[in-house]
Chains A and B, each alone.
Chain A
Amino acid sequence: MASKKLSDLRPGEAGIVARVTGTGPFRQRLLEMGLTRGVRVEMEKTAPLGDPTEYVVKGYHISLRKGEADLILLSPVPGEEFS
């Protein structure tokens, strides 16, 4: 698969941010937190009830709801491929 949404990642899997969709404060907040094009994001784990999910970006941990992670499109890390 050529691209994936951030919300599709499984624990331990990583991807490169290709595009942040959505509008207004949601997108602004994601950009401010460092989720800009070309940034590597790794999925850490999901909360016990299935949402939200914890990711690692720029060396820190951030949690996003599924609806927010849906807004972020990823491409594979160079040299790797999405399963």
Chain B
Amino acid sequence: MTKKLTVALAGNPNVGKTALFNNLTGARQHVANWPGVTVEKKEGTVRWQDYDITVVDLPGTYSLSPYSLEEIIARNFIIDEKPDVVINVIDASNLERNLFLSAQIIDLGAKMVFALNMVDTAANRGIQIDQKRLAELWGVPVVPTVANRNQGTKELLDAVVRLAEARDPVARHIHIDYGPDVEAVLARIEKVLAAAFDPADEHYPRWLATKLLELDPDAIRRLEQSPQRQAVMAQVEEGRRQLEKTWGEDAAVLVAERRYGFLGGTVREVQKEELEKRIVLSEQVDKILTHQLFGFPIFLFFMWLLFQMTFTLGELPMNWIEAGVTGLKGGVRTVLPEGWVRDLISDGIIGGVGSVLVFLPQISLLFLGISFLDDTGYMARVAFIMDRIMHALGLHGKSFIPMLMGFGCNVPAIMATRGLNSQRDRILTMLLIPLMSCSARLPVYILFAGVFFPRRAGQVIFGLYLLGILIAVLLGLVFNRFLLRGQEEPFVMELPPYRLPALRGVLVHMWDKVTVYLKRMGTVILVASMVIWFLGAFPKNPELADLFAQEREQLEASFVEKAKALQGREDFAALCRNLELEKAAALAELSHRQQATEMRQTFIGRLGAVLEPMLRPLGFDWRMSVSLLSGFVAKEIVISTLGVLYEVGEVTEGAATSLQEALQGSGLKPAAALAFMVFVLLYTPCLATIVTLWRESGALKWMLFAVGYQLMLAWLTAWVVLRIGLLLGLG
């Protein structure tokens, strides 16, 4: 019979924890969210000896303080879920700071093993660690690993099993010594606490006492139910006063100092280090990449490269998917009998999902590039050089990359906000990302700017991008001031040494993101595109269809007549050919008119008509209103809807000339065209973005807020643009 074990993986950021997780679990892993929050929870399984081991990857943290979501999650998992073993991943070249977290895990009383990672890099830097001594001192088995070369994984699993079976020779529980005065205070608090807790939780009172002494809000909350609450807090206050009087320092500072004191002692005892401490190559590289003058140009070049790669390499598979979707639609249309079921499957389901699936190659490549750059350590430098600008908006430098990704596609950009440390930063960044003009909006600009501002199209389009950024800055300031006032996150950020990323880690990371994207598409977006399809296809009007069928018959009959009249003439063959062309054109015109008429009386068409008075002040006609309405799903649809409504048939990106002519002849004012582009820039980007915003923010209210502010913003700005345009003589 197999036995079950739960193992938690804890450690600082940038220590190779993810690589180790991948080594341990291989492909048997899945990503979900921690309950109630949008922090990623990775879980995987491995069979080892007689055990089915579930490995839970805790968020990477420097500490277990209650000030960040990640740290609370990691801490609560260890306290409440009581994993059988905690694997603490430690960067061997940064022992002291890494042990700070370890000391806190020890205080929690968890069974622990150290995965002393990157021992090779440490050795190259001249750092030798006496692993045996470290294990003895801390009562924790130590396993050396090199995670990005999959070394030490088996030994680590052996150690986990030994620990779980309580037959590890070195494992024992130690107390981190905080010095006699602090220890005396802790003992007094523990004594009062002991009455309130199950004696089986033997280490818990000590941890709680330490945390209470630090006035940890989460620890105080844990005490809330206890009848001893008052007595305990009195003892805590007394202890704090006493320590403060003796040392002139807050107890929290003393505890941190004493803990580091213990760590410093450990490091002095177990670590031999040659004088050359620094990573010379990494520092040289960094001098160039964050250079006062070259830092920004180099960064812009990398980003240009990333977007080029994403869009040029992504184009080919995109075309395949497009062809596949079209083929599948065609197949369905030939196999199934005519009717609404066929239309639902081909246009609603396949078309809807296809329109999202088509972005998969670009999204994958974008994530590939971003996770590659992230793993090299460069992304921390981007945050470093951009922080000054982002700070002005009340954001962390790390928010810059998600915003930038928004210019490619808002969906992965919003997903990338997971890398940010505070929920507040996440929400604020998510709210601003849709203002970054994504690639799907560009065809609309190209069409309208090309028709109405042929000589200044480039400037107009550039201006639109700029307008989006400008509004993001302004709104950032407003939201920061009035909406999300909460405390700003400390910036404090580690700048890890540059590394060559392991291919596997990068691929796994990309795959994680892609599966999240696909899952979302398979659920919410599928349903939503079916609903939108329904609104665009119903109600059907059979009379209308009959009417057009009659008209078509008449038309065909009239051409037969015309042909008859020509019979007997010398150039009969040539005339007939002309007549055929004429007939084809007339039939096309008829079917375009039919499409337009039918669309007008569907739900979307009617809704567009209802909305039209609201959009009329912006200078838009009913066709534009309907196209904006269907553009709610995705911006690509704006153009194809306009094509249908201007009776030139469905328009594909490449062959928009007939639509251009139609727009030219429509009498639309250039100022209104400009307002239309501004509206497209600012209103809700697409269904997928809205859904992603909902999921990633974890609250429906943020999604509703985003939709609301975007619609209002779009209307107001478009109106202002129209007015200014008219004043400037663009009428």
CB contacts (< 8 Å) of B538 on chain A: these are none
Kindly state whether residue A32 has any CB partner on chain B within 8 Å. yes
Kindly state whether residue B295 has any CB partner on chain A within 8 Å. yes
Given A31-B253, A31-B256, A58-B96, A47–B491 Cβ distance below 8 Å? no
Kindly state whether residue B252 has any CB partner on chain A within 8 Å. yes
CA A38 to CA B292, docked complex, whole Å: 31
Given A28-B65, A48-B291, A68-B490, A36–B385 Cβ distance below 8 Å? no
Q: Interface range on chain B: under 10, 10 to 19, 20 to 34, or 35 or more?
A: 35 or more
CA A34 to CA B100, docked complex, whole Å: 8
CA A4 to CA B65, docked complex, whole Å: 29
Contact yes or no, B62 A32, CB < 8 A:
yes
Q: Which of B94, B385, B489 is in CB contact (< 8 Å) with A59?
A: B94
Contact yes or no, B67 A29, CB < 8 A:
yes
Whose C-beta in chain A lies nearest to the C-beta of B282?
A: A61
Q: Which of A34, A48, A54 is in CB contact (< 8 Å) with B260?
A: A34
Q: Mark A5-40, 1 if CB is under 8 A from B, else 0.
A: 000000000000000100011111111111011010
Kindly state whether residue A77 has any CB partner on chain B within 8 Å. no
Contact yes or no, B490 A48, CB < 8 A:
no
Contact yes or no, A64 B495, CB < 8 A:
no
CB contacts (< 8 Å) of A50 on chain B: these are 388
CA A45 to CA B412, docked complex, whole Å: 33
Contact yes or no, A32 B65, CB < 8 A:
yes
Contact yes or no, A62 B494, CB < 8 A:
yes
Contact yes or no, A49 B67, CB < 8 A:
no
CB contacts (< 8 Å) of A59 on chain B: these are 93-94, 96, 277-278
Most buried by B among A56, A60, A64, A68: A60
Main secondary structure of the interface of A (DSSP, over half): mixed
Kindly state whether residue B188 has any CB partner on chain A within 8 Å. no
Given A48-B295, A65-B387, A30–B253 Cβ distance below 8 Å? no
In angstroms, how far is the closest chain A Cβ from the Cβ of B334? 61
CA A78 to CA B252, docked complex, whole Å: 27
Kindly state whether residue A51 has any CB partner on chain B within 8 Å. yes
Given A31-B256, A34-B96, A48–B385 Cβ distance below 8 Å? yes
CA A15 to CA B287, docked complex, whole Å: 22
In angstroms, how far is the closest chain B Cβ from the Cβ of A42? 10
CB contacts (< 8 Å) of B100 on chain A: these are 32, 34
Contact yes or no, B62 A33, CB < 8 A:
yes
CA A27 to CA B388, docked complex, whole Å: 21
Contact yes or no, B252 A49, CB < 8 A:
no
CA A30 to CA B483, docked complex, whole Å: 28
Whose C-beta in chain B lies nearest to the C-beta of A22?
A: B490
Most buried by A among B65, B260, B385, B496: B260
In angstroms, how far is the closest chain B Cβ from the Cβ of A70? 12
Contact yes or no, A32 B391, CB < 8 A:
no
Kindly state whether residue B257 has any CB partner on chain A within 8 Å. yes
Contact yes or no, B495 A36, CB < 8 A:
no
CA A26 to CA B67, docked complex, whole Å: 9
CA A50 to CA B391, docked complex, whole Å: 12
Kindly state whether residue B296 has any CB partner on chain A within 8 Å. yes
CB contacts (< 8 Å) of A64 on chain B: these are 491-492
Given A32-B65, A63-B495, A26–B388 Cβ distance below 8 Å? no
In angstroms, how far is the closest chain A Cβ from the Cβ of B267? 9
Q: Interface range on chain A: under 10, 10 to 19, 20 to 34, or 35 or more?
A: 20 to 34
Given A34-B100, A59-B277, A62-B493, A54–B67 Cβ distance below 8 Å? no
In angstroms, how far is the closest chain A Cβ from the Cβ of B278? 8
CB contacts (< 8 Å) of A47 on chain B: these are 290, 295, 384-385, 387-388
Contact yes or no, B493 A51, CB < 8 A:
no
Whose C-beta in chain A lies nearest to the C-beta of B377?
A: A61
Contact yes or no, A33 B252, CB < 8 A:
no
CA A64 to CA B67, docked complex, whole Å: 18
Q: Mark B474-518, 1 if CB is under 8 A from A, else 0.
A: 000000000000010111111111000000000000000000000
Q: Which of A45, A56, A60, A68 is in CB contact (< 8 Å) with B290?
A: A45
Kindly state whether residue B389 has any CB partner on chain A within 8 Å. yes
CB contacts (< 8 Å) of A49 on chain B: these are 385, 388-389
Given A36-B256, A36-B257, A54–B384 Cβ distance below 8 Å? yes
CB contacts (< 8 Å) of A32 on chain B: these are 62-63, 65, 100, 256
CB contacts (< 8 Å) of B520 on chain A: these are none
In angstroms, how far is the closest chain A Cβ from the Cβ of B64? 9
CB contacts (< 8 Å) of B552 on chain A: these are none
Contact yes or no, A63 B292, CB < 8 A:
no
Contact yes or no, A28 B388, CB < 8 A:
no
CB contacts (< 8 Å) of B292 on chain A: these are 48
Whose C-beta in chain B lies nearest to the C-beta of A32?
A: B63
Interface residue ranges of B62-79 to A (CB < 8 Å): 62-63, 65, 67
CA A24 to CA B391, docked complex, whole Å: 20
CB contacts (< 8 Å) of B93 on chain A: these are 59
CA A54 to CA B494, docked complex, whole Å: 9
CA A58 to CA B493, docked complex, whole Å: 14
CA A29 to CA B497, docked complex, whole Å: 21
Most buried by B among A27, A33, A48, A68: A48
Contact yes or no, B253 A20, CB < 8 A:
yes
CB contacts (< 8 Å) of A28 on chain B: these are 63, 65, 67, 252, 256
In angstroms, how far is the closest chain A Cβ from the Cβ of B95? 9
Q: Mark B296-332, 1 if CB is under 8 A from A, else 0.
A: 1000000000000000000000000000000000000
CB contacts (< 8 Å) of A68 on chain B: these are 490-492
Q: 20 new A-B pairs (CB below 8 Å) besides A58-B94, A58-B96?
A: A25-B489, A28-B63, A29-B63, A29-B490, A30-B492, A32-B62, A32-B100, A36-B253, A36-B257, A36-B260, A47-B384, A47-B388, A51-B387, A59-B96, A60-B94, A61-B495, A63-B384, A63-B494, A64-B491, A65-B491
B interface residues (Cβ-Cβ under 8 A, vs A) = 62-63, 65, 67, 93-94, 96-97, 100, 252-253, 256-257, 260, 277-278, 287, 290-293, 295-296, 384-385, 387-389, 391, 397, 487, 489-497
A interface residues (Cβ-Cβ under 8 A, vs B) = 20, 24-34, 36-37, 39, 45, 47-52, 54, 56, 58-65, 68
Closest 10 CB pairs of A and B: A49-B388, A31-B256, A25-B67, A61-B495, A32-B63, A29-B490, A65-B491, A36-B257, A48-B295, A26-B490
8 A-B Cβ contacts within 8 A?
Answer: A29-B63, A30-B490, A36-B253, A51-B387, A60-B94, A60-B97, A61-B497, A63-B387
